[in-house]
Structure 1
Amino acid sequence: MIMFKKKTQKATFKKDSVFLHHTGNMFGIGCSVFSEKAIERIDSLKQRKDKKGYIILFPEIEWLEKYRIQISPKIKRLMQQYLPGNLTIVLDDPENNFPLVSDQKKIAIRIPSSKFLRDFIKKINVPIISTSVNFSGEEALNDLEQIRAEKGKWFDLEVLSGKKRYDYSKPSTIINYQENKLICLREGSIKFGQIKKSFESPLILFVCTGNICRSPMAEYYLKKLIAAKKMKYRAASAGFLNSDVRISPHSFEVLKNDDIDASQHISTHITKELISDSWLILTMTEQHKRSILEFVPNSFNKVFTLSEYCGKKFCLLSCDIDDPIGMEIYFYRETYKMIKERIEILVEKLEDYS
């Protein structure tokens, strides 16, 4: 076998190649989605009776437009929240762009967690299929040395980053959306109950440093507007410092003057679980955004500064909303004014999204 290397990938990958890869969650056998020869070979190797229904891996959401795959706003929200990641979504393919793997003009797609694999797909410029390394109906193999020993002859090359250890989780959760209803076809590593909650009432998370000044003002003002408009969104906030701290007195006073009671607010420390649960994460500064992306790199489809998300006009000089902590209440009022202006535009965008 030939170990895939970035510098030699054009020399090693051919249109009918069958290769070992790691999605970021488990090992798989794959090939170009358009290679009938390679797909038939995988069918034979796995002793697979069902010749349809392979999962297609794309490197990014934008590739769906490239193949004119239509997605509803609600499904796009789920993609932004969970992808790249371990969620597979069944979509309509009305033009039958993928006849070798579609089932009644429906395809199952995912964006893999592995950046290495996503970069490979971009480089070969074609989506790939991915399926577990096993005989059909048997348990998937996820030990690299065992795969090489028992199934090594299956592959023309290995599309692997060369890591010493590869993570393993349960297979992906597979969902379908039809007749305005979300259906779970297979529950894997992501609980369907969590996905359904996100689908029905997406969570918008505001983030600042301590979660006691700026982000609570954004959270509570958005809650006020979505309640008034009866919108099915949730709002929350978090920060990077210690949790269980009450809202700052000046932020509390500014909100109170706008008929908003934030007396129950207690600061929350941001976690990977909270990031996963959120559809949209809006930060007060570029540094907050960078910190989240360093913490959870695959959250890039849903993390923006509040100013950036609400329009270029708010980022002419800087996308940051500065921290008023330690300043007089006048600075809090000015900060709240900036936040309100952006939240009102955010709500307009949410209405268009619904």
Structure 2
Amino acid sequence: MKQKLRKIVSKLKKKPDAVFLHFTGNVFGLGCSAFNEKAIERISKLKKRRKQKKGFIVLIPDKSWLQKFHIKYDGKFEPLLQQYWPGNLTAIFKDEQGVFPHLSPNGTIAFRVPTSQFLRDFIIEFDEPIISTSINISGESPLVDLAAIRNEKKGWFDYEILPPELEKSQSQVSTIIDVTGNENKLLWEGSIKFEDIELSYQKPQILFVCTGNICRSPMAEYLLKEKIKEYNLNFRVKSAGFLDSGVRISTNSYQVLKDYGIDALHHVSSAIDEKLIQNSWLILTMEEKHKDELLKIAPNAGGRVFTLSEYCGREFCVPNCNIEDPFNLEIYFYRETFKKIKERIEVLAEKLLEMERKSSVLKK
């Protein structure tokens, strides 16, 4: 795959004003280097757009590229970007240093991290951000079928930058938010609902995951909820597992929590799904195998899925990062599991407290 990308990039570097067809993971797009004004102007003419370059989205492979191009934003938006990138969220930032003058006539610019791993790898190899826009004349419906694009718009692009295995175009419009100030502004609702974004902005969700969601992850959930109350933190906490929903917390887990002064009598298990993963800013698993299974469901969630142990520090990963399942063992083993989880939750709570302190006083 890397060899293929190198060949594509080599061709593009020889023709820097080239326009190319690409696939974001949701839709087909027309793109070029975000720094090549000639290519951008060509795309504008093909689409019969006005001279002003509003509406072009800049694609980057990961959030760190914002810093690379001196794009600053309020630290309160950090969890939101971590949660929804890569994904179908477009965010508008200030281009204070004028890095993209031909794309930000009013001083603002839109960025997104695409869901396609192939496209992200291409941008890294290309070593330049690219613009992305729908394949249509302005005011008309965009083309979403590859055969139709090749037939009707073949002269619009010089190259095709498409993954070997192409998923079906879903025609999902991205949700657009404005992060140029210190408050979240919701501009356009696409595939991600406004209410989900606003809730994630106000109170990011932390999700604990184990096998059945009746032993270990409920311990972590209820312990962290206590710490959140104690520290007055703005986070939501939930837990889930890979088995069926609706099962009561195990008797021994209930008992060790009760011994600590926490009543978890009404806890019933929840099953993990894509929606729950998307709605969570941080996902912490009890074992490595849970992490691996989650990434099969949501491959793009890699930047926010960790074992609880590794997230709290490598010292908790000796000899490994697993917190073993006490299911069906004597209560002694549940108490030992509880001690391990409690120790890590105390570290996690301190990390969250420090994060809130920083976001309240710093601008990234």
User: Normalising to structure 1: TM-score of the pair?
Assistant: 0.95
Aligned residue pairs total: 351
In 2: Cα distance, 1:265 partner to 1:65 partner = 42
Kindly provide the amino acid, as one letter, of the partner of residue 333 in structure 2. F
Indicate conservation of the 8 Å contact 1:202/1:233, yes or no.
Answer: yes
Q: Which residue of 1 aligns with 2:143?
A: 141
Deviations 1:245-289 (A, max 9, x none): 111111101100111010000011101111011111000111110
Indicate conservation of the 8 Å contact 1:12/1:157, yes or no.
Answer: no
In 2: Cα distance, 1:29 partner to 1:121 partner = 14
Q: Structure 1 pair 271/348, CA: closer, same or farther in 2 (3 Å)?
A: same
Indicate conservation of the 8 Å contact 1:238/1:267, yes or no.
Answer: yes
* Greater shift in the superposed pair: 179-188 or 286-295: 179-188
Runs of 4+ in 1 over 6 A off after TM superposition: none
Q: Which residue of 2 aligns with 1:182?
A: 184
Structure 2 unmatched runs, 5+: 357-364
**1:23 matched to 2:12:** no
Indicate conservation of the 8 Å contact 2:52/2:105, yes or no.
Answer: no
Q: Which residue of 2 aligns with 1:91?
A: 93
Q: Which residue of 1 aligns with 2:228?
A: 226
Identity %: 53
Deviations 1:194-240 (A, max 9, x none): 10011111110000011111000000011111122222211010011
Q: Which residue of 2 aligns with 1:132?
A: 134
Over aligned residues, Cα RMSD in angstroms?
Answer: 1.5
Deviations 1:95-149 (A, max 9, x none): 2211221243321100001111111111111100001001112111111111111
3-state DSSP of counterpart to 1:181: coil
Q: Which residue of 2 aligns with 1:52?
A: 53
Indicate conservation of the 8 Å contact 1:22/1:159, yes or no.
Answer: yes
Q: Which residue of 2 aligns with 1:79?
A: 81
Q: Which residue of 1 aligns with 2:214?
A: 212
Q: Structure 1 pair 312/103, CA: closer, same or farther in 2 (3 Å)?
A: farther
Indicate conservation of the 8 Å contact 1:307/1:315, yes or no.
Answer: yes
3-state DSSP of counterpart to 2:300: helix
Q: Which residue of 2 aligns with 1:168?
A: 170
In 2: Cα distance, 1:11 partner to 1:181 partner = 42
In 1: Cα distance, 2:105 partner to 2:309 partner = 43
Write out aligned runs for 1:4-43 (5 A): 5-6=4-5, 8-13=7-12, 14-43=15-44
Report deviation, 1:58.
0.3
Indicate conservation of the 8 Å contact 2:91/2:177, yes or no.
Answer: yes
Kindly provide the amino acid, as one letter, of the partner of residue 11 in structure 2. T
Q: Structure 1 pair 8/238, CA: closer, same or farther in 2 (3 Å)?
A: same
Write out aligned runs for 1:1-354 (5 A): 5-6=4-5, 8-13=7-12, 14-53=15-54, 54-163=56-165, 165-354=167-356
Q: Structure 1 pair 164/175, CA: closer, same or farther in 2 (3 Å)?
A: closer
In 1: Cα distance, 2:192 partner to 2:241 partner = 25
Report deviation, 1:152.
0.7
In 2: Cα distance, 1:21 partner to 1:140 partner = 14
3-state DSSP of counterpart to 2:321: coil
User: Normalising to structure 2: TM-score of the pair?
Assistant: 0.93
Indicate conservation of the 8 Å contact 1:20/1:159, yes or no.
Answer: yes
In 1: Cα distance, 2:149 partner to 2:26 partner = 16
In 2: Cα distance, 1:52 partner to 1:307 partner = 47
Kindly provide the amino acid, as one letter, of the partner of residue 40 in structure 1. E
Report deviation, 1:347.
1.2
Kindly provide the amino acid, as one letter, of the partner of residue 113 in structure 2. I
In 1: Cα distance, 2:309 partner to 2:167 partner = 39
